[in-house]
C-alpha cells in the first residue's frame, strides 16, 4: 500500500529516465544515505567501522568494477587481485613521488594506470572468448603479483616488501584519511561519499551508449556487430573502466582499509572473492555489487560467531574450510536457482511490497 507508484505520471523523457523514477525509492534512498552519513558514524563502534563498514565499502568498488566487465560485458576475469595490487602500488608510487598531490587525485590517477594495464592484458579478449580469457587474466594475476613482490622499485626498496600509506589529509593538513592520525569516522564518511560518487559514475555509464554497447556484446556479439557496435572498442573500454574501478579499490584497500599492505594481500583468492561477490550479488546489477560485497564481508563473521558458539574449541582452519564449502555451495545454488543473485531477490521483494499488506 505504501509502495505504490500509482498516480506518479511522467511528463518528460528526463523524468522517465531519472535514476529513481518512483518517489518512494528516492525517499527511501535519501533516508538511507542520510542514515549512512550522519547517524552511522556516531553509533557504530570503532571495530565495526574499521573491520566491517570500511572493508565493505572498499570491496564494493572492486565488485562494481568486475561486474562492469563480467556482468555487463560478459568477459570473465580472474585477475582482479592483480589489478587491485596494481592500483595499490601505483597509488603508493604516485603519492611518494609527488607528496603534494591531493590524495583523491592520486586515487583517480592510480585507477587510470590500472586501466592502462588492464587494457594491455585485455587485448587477448579481442581474439578469444569466454574462458580462454580467464587464462589470460590469470596470467595478469600471477605476473603482476610477482612483479610487485620481486622488483624493489615498487616498494621504494622497503626491505619487507610492504608499502605503508603515508599520512594524507583531505584538506591540507587536516581531515586525515590515511596514515595513523586518521580517525575511522573520517575515513568512513570519506569512503561513503567517494564510493557513492563512483557508483553514480558506474550507474550512469551502464545507462549510457557505452554501457548499452557492452550489454549488446554480452548478449550476442554478432548481433551487436550487425547493429554497428565495434567489439574492439566495446570490449577494451569495458576492460579499461573495470580495471579503473578495481585499481581504485586496491588503492583504497592499501591506503584506507589496511594502511600497510604487501603484494600477497592480493593473491588469487582475492580474485575469487570479488568474483563470488558479483555471482552471489547478481551479475549485471550494480545493486548486486553492493549486496554481494555485504554478503561476502558479513558471512565469515557470522559463521565465525555461530561456529564458536556451537563449539568454542573449534580451530580457525576448520572455520575456514566451512566457509569455503558454504561459498562453493552457495555459488552453485545461486547459479542454478537464481542466476541474477541477491539483486533479483530484492526485485521480488519489491514486487511483493507493492501489494502489501493486501493479498492482491
Partner 1 sequence: MMQSKRIAFWSVAPLVAFVLIGFLLQWMASQGIGFFDWWFFSEVAATGLLVGVRYSLVALGFVLIFKASGVFNFAQGSMVLFAALTFVGLLGFGVPIWLSFPITLVVMWLLAVVIERVVLRPLVNQEHIILFMATIGVFYLLEGGGQLMWGSQVQTLDIGLPHGRIQLFGGNIQLQEFEIVTAGIAGLLVAVLAVFFNKTRVGRALRAVADDHQAALSVGIPLKAIWVIVWTVAGVVALVAGITWGTDLGVQPTLSLVALKALPVLILGGFTSIPGAIIGGLIIGCGEQVGEVFFGSLVGGAIQDWFAYMLALVFLLFRPQGLFGERIIERV
Residues at the interface with partner 1 (CB under 8 A): 74, 76, 121, 123-132, 134-136, 138-139, 142-143, 145-146, 149-151, 221, 231, 235, 268, 272, 275, 279, 317-318, 320-332, 335-336, 339
Rounded to a whole number of angstroms, the minimum distance from the CB of residue 199 to partner 1 is 24
Rounded to a whole number of angstroms, the minimum distance from the CB of residue 11 to partner 1 is 41
Phi, psi of 358 (to 5 degrees): -90, 155
Rounded to a whole number of angstroms, the minimum distance from the CB of residue 337 to partner 1 is 8
Helix (H) or strand (E) holding 175: strand 174-176
Q: Which is nearer to partner 1, 219 or 351 (CB)?
A: 219
Rounded to a whole number of angstroms, the minimum distance from the CB of residue 208 to partner 1 is 22
Residue of 156, 53, 29 lying closest to 95 (CA atoms) = 156
Question: How far is Cα 234 from Cα 115, in angstroms, rounded to an integer?
Answer: 14
Per-residue exposure over 291-324, b if at least 16 CB sit within 10 Å of its own CB, e if not = bbbbbbbebeeebbeeeeeeeeeeeeeebeebee
Q: Which is nearer to partner 1, 48 or 142 (CB)?
A: 142
Q: Which is nearer to partner 1, 186 or 273 (CB)?
A: 273
Helix (H) or strand (E) holding 262: strand 260-262
Rounded to a whole number of angstroms, the minimum distance from the CB of residue 52 to partner 1 is 23
Q: Which is nearer to partner 1, 2 or 336 (CB)?
A: 336
CA 172, 259, 291, 71: dihedral to nearest 10 degrees?
A: 90
Question: How far is Cα 341 from Cα 334, in angstroms, rounded to an integer?
Answer: 6
In this structure, what C-alpha cell is assigned to residue 157?
A: 626498496
Whole-Å CA distances, 138 to 24, 28, 78, 272: 44, 41, 6, 11
Q: Which is nearer to partner 1, 8 or 269 (CB)?
A: 269
Q: Which is nearer to partner 1, 15 or 151 (CB)?
A: 151
Q: Which is nearer to partner 1, 101 or 232 (CB)?
A: 232
In this structure, what C-alpha cell is assigned to residue 133?
A: 580469457
- Give the CA count within 13 Å in the CB-facing half-sphere of 176: 14
Helix (H) or strand (E) holding 170: strand 169-171
Rounded to a whole number of angstroms, the minimum distance from the CB of residue 205 to partner 1 is 22
In this structure, what C-alpha cell is assigned to residue 315?
A: 580451530
Whole-Å CA distances, 147 to 51, 86, 164: 29, 10, 18
Q: Which is nearer to partner 1, 145 or 192 (CB)?
A: 145
Instruction: Identify whether the C-beta of residue 184 lies closer than 8 Å to the C-beta of residue 46.
Output: yes
Rounded to a whole number of angstroms, the minimum distance from the CB of residue 279 to partner 1 is 6
Rounded to a whole number of angstroms, the minimum distance from the CB of residue 132 to partner 1 is 6
Amino acid at each position: 500500500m505504501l509502495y505504490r507508484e500509482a498516480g506518479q505520471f511522467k511528463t518528460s523523457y528526463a523524468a522517465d529516465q531519472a535514476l529513481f523514477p518512483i518517489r518512494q525509492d528516492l525517499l527511501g534512498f535519501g533516508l538511507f544515505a542520510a542514515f549512512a552519513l550522519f547517524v552511522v558514524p556516531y553509533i557504530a563502534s570503532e571495530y565495526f567501522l574499521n573491520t566491517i563498514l570500511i572493508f565493505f565499502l572498499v570491496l564494493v568498488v572492486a565488485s562494481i568494477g568486475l561486474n562492469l566487465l563480467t556482468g555487463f560485458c560478459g568477459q570473465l576475469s580472474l585477475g582482479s587481485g592483480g589489478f587491485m595490487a596494481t592500483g595499490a602500488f601505483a597509488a603508493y608510487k604516485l603519492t611518494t613521488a609527488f607528496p603534494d598531490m591531493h590524495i583523491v587525485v592520486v586515487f583517480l590517477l592510480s585507477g587510470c594506470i590500472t586501466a592502462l594495464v588492464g587494457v594491455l592484458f585485455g587485448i587477448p579478449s579481442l581474439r578469444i572468448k569466454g574462458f580462454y580469457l580467464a587464462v589470460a587474466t590469470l596470467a595478469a594475476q600471477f605476473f603482476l603479483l610477482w612483479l610487485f613482490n620481486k622488483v624493489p622499485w615498487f616498494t621504494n626498496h622497503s626491505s619487507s616488501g610492504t608499502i605503508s600509506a603515508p599520512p594524507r589529509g583531505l584538506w591540507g593538513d587536516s581531515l586525515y584519511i590515511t596514515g595513523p592520525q586518521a580517525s575511522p569516522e573520517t575515513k568512513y564518511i570519506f569512503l561513503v561519499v567517494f564510493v557513492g560518487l563512483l557508483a553514480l559514475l558506474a550507474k550512469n555509464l551502464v545507462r549510457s551508449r557505452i554501457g548499452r554497447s557492452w550489454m549488446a556484446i554480452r548478449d550476442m556479439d554478432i548481433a551487436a556487430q550487425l547493429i554497428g557496435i565495434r567489439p574492439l572498442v566495446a570490449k577494451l573500454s569495458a576492460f579499461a573502466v573495470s580495471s579503473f574501478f578495481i585499481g581504485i579499490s586496491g588503492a583504497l584497500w592499501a591506503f584506507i582499509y589496511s594502511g600497510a599492505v604487501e603484494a600477497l594481500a592480493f593473491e588469487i583468492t582475492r580474485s575469487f572473492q570479488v568474483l563470488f561477490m558479483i555471482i552471489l550479488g547478481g551479475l549485471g546489477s550494480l545493486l548486486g555489487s553492493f549486496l554481494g560485497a555485504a554478503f561476502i564481508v558479513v558471512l565469515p563473521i557470522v559463521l565465525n560467531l555461530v561456529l564458536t558458539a556451537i563449539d568454542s574449541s573449534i580451530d580457525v582452519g576448520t572455520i575456514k574450510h566451512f566457509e569455503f564449502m558454504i561459498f562453493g555451495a552457495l555459488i552453485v545454488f545461486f547459479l542454478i536457482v537464481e542466476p541474477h543473485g541477491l539483486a533479483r531477490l530484492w526485485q521480488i521483494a519489491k514486487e511483493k511490497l507493492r501489494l502489501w499488506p493486501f493479498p492482491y
